[in-house]
Amino acid sequence: MLIARVIGEVVSTQRHASHNGQKTLLVQPLNLDGTDRGEAVVAMDAVDAGVGDRVLLVTEGFSAMTSVERPNSPIDMAVVGVIDHIELLEQV
């Protein structure tokens, strides 16, 4: 699982039938300090996240498919949570 920020929505008039009715988001994975981590990715939305939200992103197909209740669907990534707060504890 990764931390990411929603940076946009993806609208497509033609899509795989299993994706019908699902919102698709463009998300930017983040490092713990909030800086960008790699390239932005496309993910299905399981929690009704919006642009600007920090979210939890699953990056493995089976977890993504089951989180949006679309088994055997061509999905690699899904947004599965909206982050309210992150607390980092100091390492001893």
- Give the closest residue to 62 by CA, choosing from 48, 46, 76: 76
Q: Tens digit of pLDDT for each residue in 25-66?
A: 999 999 988 999 999 999 999 899 999 999 999 987 767 766
Give the pTM. Answer: 0.85
Task: List, in order of start, the domains of the chain with CATH numbers.
Answer: 2-12+22-82 (2.40.50.220)
Residues of the chain with pLDDT > 70, as a percent, come to 87
Distance CA 83, CA 16 (A): 29
